[in-house]
Amino acid sequence: MNLAVREALRAFQRAPMLSALSVTTIAFSLFAFGLFGLVALNLRNALQQVEERVEVRAFIAEGTLPEAVAAAIGDIAAFPEVQRVEMVSEVQALDRARRELGEFEDVFEAGILPASLEIRIKDGFRDPESVKAIAKRIENYDFIDDIRYGEEWVEKLYRLRTIASAAGVSLGIVFALVAVIIIGSTIRMAVLARSREIRIMRLVGATNGFIRAPFLIEGFLKGLLGGVLALLLTWVTYQFVGQYVVQATYFGGGMAVLGVLVGALIGLLGSAISVGRHLRRV
């Protein structure tokens, strides 16, 4: 094994440019994964915060009988998805608006804001589909004029997350494929460069596993290096974004290690795929 590692390291010396190229493509692959992973991670965090506040607001038509509203509140509170229902009267609505929009308080006159029901939804039903379904049911009450549930931006956030994940995964896969191809051609060169040695190894009875090992180790090490490089790149990007754009969350240690291991796996895979094919031709 000692010998195999030494041979693997010699391969870096023998083809420094190609080795650097394979390491960089693996790094780019993981960088793409990582960057979009970070975006997805931060969007998820943002969504979680938003979701905690998700509420449906149902505006009550003028002149509705208080009894009807009270009955409806009882009904709605009994929905399994609903956490809490609260009535906001015209007066309360005005108060709140004045408080929240301090300097514009004079804009609001009594009676301009309708009374409404504020419905909070239980955790687990805060995704756009569930919220929409609940809203539909509430809208069925005759006295409900209008209903709002911030549908647009919740959906937008969700869509953004989906797009970021998809873009990250597909770009990452493309780079991973390119990395595998480049590693394949590096292995081809390495096998060619060592063909005399390989022939002698075979002649004196070295096993196939022994002959293969240095190439697999070479791929593994390149992947590992690529992974570390990618981690560095995402860290730098993260710092940059944190400083100039928005404070964000970084991966935990487990994710970082996983990313580097995925890099090593890509490298190993790239070598494993091509080494058998090229060794057969020696």
Partner 1 sequence: MIRFTHVTKRYPKGGPAIDDVSFHVNRGEFVFLTGPSGAGKSTILKMVYVEERPSAGEVKVAGFSSAAMGAGTVSKLRRRLGVVFQDFRLLEDRTAEQNVAFALEVIGTPESAVAPKVARVLTQVGLAGKSTAFPHELSGGEQQRVAIARALVNDPLVLLADEPTGNLDERATRGVFQLLREINATGTAVMMATHDLSLVKAHRYRTLEMHRGKLVFDSGAEFPASADEFDTAVPGPAPEPALQGRLPLADAERPADAPDAAPADGAAEAP
Residues found near partner 1 in the complex (CB under 8 A): 3, 196-197, 199-208, 210-211
Q: Which is nearer to partner 1, 63 or 205 (CB)?
A: 205
Least distance from C-beta 6 to partner 1, angstroms?
10
Q: Which is nearer to partner 1, 156 or 199 (CB)?
A: 199
DSSP string across 82-134 = EEEEEEE-HHHHHHHHHHHTGGGGGG--TTSSPPEEEEEE-TTS-SHHHHHHH
Q: Which is nearer to partner 1, 60 or 211 (CB)?
A: 211
Least distance from C-beta 51 to partner 1, angstroms?
59
Collect all residues with Cβ–Cβ distance below 8 Å to 265 and sequence separation of at least 6.
223
Least distance from C-beta 204 to partner 1, angstroms?
4
Q: From the CB of residue 153, how many other CB atoms can be counted at a distance below 10 Å?
A: 10
Sheet order of strands, 116-121 included:
82-88, 116-121, 55-60, 144-148
Q: Which is nearer to partner 1, 153 or 210 (CB)?
A: 210
Q: In the structure, how many helices (H) and strands (E) does the chain have? A: 9, 4
Least distance from C-beta 188 to partner 1, angstroms?
20
Q: Which is nearer to partner 1, 188 or 202 (CB)?
A: 202
Distance, in Å, from the CA atom of 272 to the CA atom of 4, rounded to the nearest integer, reads 15
Least distance from C-beta 201 to partner 1, angstroms?
5
